[in-house]
């Protein structure tokens, strides 16, 4: 049984929606970020980068306090307004390749604590703690955790019917995406949605493991410090974007390595031969089309690597995962990459970018070798979560990627 609730979002006044909404802060290059801050006074980036107002870089808790100040200024100027009654929010993102639709709602920290909301990635303790402190100071969350659920006819029909009406917001972005938002404030429809989710046994985190973990830490601390705790306080929930599994788009990450760890090319290929059937594809741009097939680019040539299944033992869902196989049989033992997060000899390209980028970065000498694979499927992700296992870092690149500042959840 899962618990999701409507909430009173703080959101842009309709005239400002397209100007306020921004991509994730880390998604901007230095020049683009500067242009946004210089020429768009309504951008949510001004809130999360408060030092720009004073032309000064600010960090730590001082920055957290200034983020809150900028946020309050946006509210005082009525750039941001708060809904008077709790709503669910339908958010639709249409790109050149696809369209996805889901519900923004408040999801239960207790569900996360009890593994009703399931996870497939490890989190880093100091990042959890840092973001928890950030949330505690600023008092709001603007980036929903991406959750997925099995396709549901009742929910889908309700969303499609509501989307026939005029949206509260509709705006296009310079990367040719169209963003639309509808409110669900009708009590009958709210109860229907709530009941459908209550009938589900579990939800799965697709993206946002650190955000959900930090929200749980904040709730735990707030609960302990509140002698009048009832369970209904806003800190008992975190904002999520819930989409059906068919709306989820999963891409792979390619791996780029700086060197061959002291091996010659010939020695390296011989070491790989123990676990893989290797074929030199020459200049043919090879991309895997099956699980346990990999592509490799080395010295101006593509190779296909097929796992020798007679040698390899599948023991659980994780052992079936291609990113795990690549790590366990090549990256760690042969190339000496033990820490996938912090080793400076490895870099990643998400599957939205094609193999030409991988080839270019090897050909220029920035990296010596590159590897690619098939993306994981949703059933693989769910099985790993169900078995309480965790994927290696950078195993999946998941869309949709949401805009910040469209709906804000206050604690």
Tell me the C-alpha distance between 94 and 105, whole Å: 20
Over the stretch 171-194, which tens digit does the pLDDT of each residue have?
999 889 999 999 999 999 999 999
Whether the predicted pLDDT of 368 surpasses 70: yes
Q: What is the pLDDT of residue 280?
A: 98
Strands 409-410 and 99-108: unpaired
- Residue 370 belongs to domain spanning: 253-395
Tell me the C-alpha distance between 235 and 7, whole Å: 12
Over the stretch 192-211, which tens digit does the pLDDT of each residue have?
999 999 999 999 999 999 99
**Are 172 and 268 members of one domain?**
no
Kindly state the tokens that stand for 209. Answer: 């493991």
Whether the predicted pLDDT of 305 surpasses 80: yes
**Are 178 and 82 members of one domain?**
yes
Q: What is the pLDDT of residue 61?
A: 76
Q: How many domains does the chain have?
A: 2
Dihedral, 159, 160, 163, 165 alpha carbons, nearest 10: -110
Q: What is the DSSP string of 145-177?
A: EEEEE---HHHHHHHHHHTTSPPSEEEE-TTS-
* pLDDT top residue among 272 and 60: 272
Tell me the C-alpha distance between 177 and 194, whole Å: 29
Nearest residue to 87 (alpha-carbon basis) of 11, 2, 15, 156: 11
Over the stretch 140-176, which tens digit does the pLDDT of each residue have?
999 999 999 999 999 999 999 999 999 999 999 988 9
**Are 216 and 302 members of one domain?**
no
**Are 259 and 376 members of one domain?**
yes
**Are 144 and 241 members of one domain?**
yes
Residue 278 belongs to domain with CATH number: 3.30.1760
Q: What is the pLDDT of residue 54?
A: 67
Q: What is the DSSP string of 336-376?
A: ----TTT-TTEEEEETTS-HHHHHHHHHTTS-SEEEEEPPP
Tell me the C-alpha distance between 46 and 372, whole Å: 38
**Are 139 and 180 members of one domain?**
yes
Over the stretch 213-229, which tens digit does the pLDDT of each residue have?
999 999 999 999 999 99
**Are 280 and 154 members of one domain?**
no
3-state secondary structure of 378: helix
Q: What is the pLDDT of residue 62?
A: 84
**Are 129 and 162 members of one domain?**
yes
Tell me the C-alpha distance between 411 and 407, whole Å: 13
**Are 36 and 159 members of one domain?**
yes
Identify how many contiguous H helices and E strands the chain contains and give both numbers.
Answer: 13, 21
Whether the predicted pLDDT of 56 surpasses 70: no
Q: What number is the average pLDDT over the span 58-77?
A: 89
**Are 276 and 353 members of one domain?**
yes
Taking the model in full, what pTM does it have? 0.93
**Are 179 and 157 members of one domain?**
yes
Give the confidence band of 355 by pLDDT, cuts at 50, 70, 90: confident
Over the stretch 246-282, which tens digit does the pLDDT of each residue have?
999 999 999 999 999 999 999 999 999 999 999 999 9
Nearest residue to 77 (alpha-carbon basis) of 16, 9, 27: 16
Give the confidence band of 50 by pLDDT, cuts at 50, 70, 90: confident
**Are 172 and 265 members of one domain?**
no
């Amino acid at each position: 049984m899962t618990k999701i609730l409507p909430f009173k979002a703080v959101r842009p006044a309709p005239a400002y929606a397209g100007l306020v909404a921004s991509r994730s802060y880390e998604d901007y290059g230095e020049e683009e970020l500067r242009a946004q801050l210089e020429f768009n006074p309504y951008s949510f980036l001004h809130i999360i980068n408060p030092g720009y107002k004073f032309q000064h870089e600010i960090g730590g808790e001082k920055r957290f306090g200034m983020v809150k100040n900028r946020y309050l200024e946006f509210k005082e100027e009525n750039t941001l307004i708060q809904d008077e009654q709790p709503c669910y929010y339908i958010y639709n993102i249409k790109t050149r390749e696809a369209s996805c639709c889901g519900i923004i709602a408040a999801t239960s920290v207790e569900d996360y604590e009890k593994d009703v909301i399931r996870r497939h990635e490890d989190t880093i303790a100091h990042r959890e703690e840092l973001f928890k402190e950030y949330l505690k100071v600023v008092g709001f969350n603007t980036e929903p955790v991406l959750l997925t659920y099995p396709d549901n006819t009742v929910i889908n029909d309700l969303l499609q019917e509501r989307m026939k009406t005029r949206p509260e917001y509709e705006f296009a972005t310079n990367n040719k995406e169209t963003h639309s938002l509808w409110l669900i404030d009708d009590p009958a429809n709210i109860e229907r949605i709530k009941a459908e989710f209550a009938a589900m046994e579990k939800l799965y985190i697709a993206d946002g493991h650190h955000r959900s973990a930090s929200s749980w830490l904040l709730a735990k601390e707030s609960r302990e410090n509140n002698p009048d705790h009832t369970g209904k306080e806003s800190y008992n929930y975190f904002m999520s974007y819930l989409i059906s599994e068919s709306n989820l788009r999963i891409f792979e990450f390619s791996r780029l390595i700086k060197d061959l760890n002291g091996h010659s090319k010939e020695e390296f290929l011989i070491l790989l031969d123990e676990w893989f059937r290797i074929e030199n594809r020459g200049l043919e741009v090879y991309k895997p089309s099956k699980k346990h097939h990999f592509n490799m680019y080395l010295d101006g040539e593509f190779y296909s690597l097929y796992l020798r299944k007679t040698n390899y033992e599948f023991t659980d869902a994780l052992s079936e995962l291609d990113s795990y196989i690549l790590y366990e049989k090549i990256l760690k033992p042969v190339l000496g990459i033990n820490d996938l997060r912090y080793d400076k000899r490895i870099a990643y390209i998400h599957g939205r970018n094609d193999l030409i980028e991988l080839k270019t970065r090897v050909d220029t000498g920035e990296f010596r070798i590159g590897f690619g694979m098939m993306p994981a499927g949703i059933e693989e992700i769910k099985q790993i979560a169900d078995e309480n296992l965790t994927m290696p870092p950078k195993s999946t690149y998941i869309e949709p990627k949401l805009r910040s500042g469209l709906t804000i959840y206050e604690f």
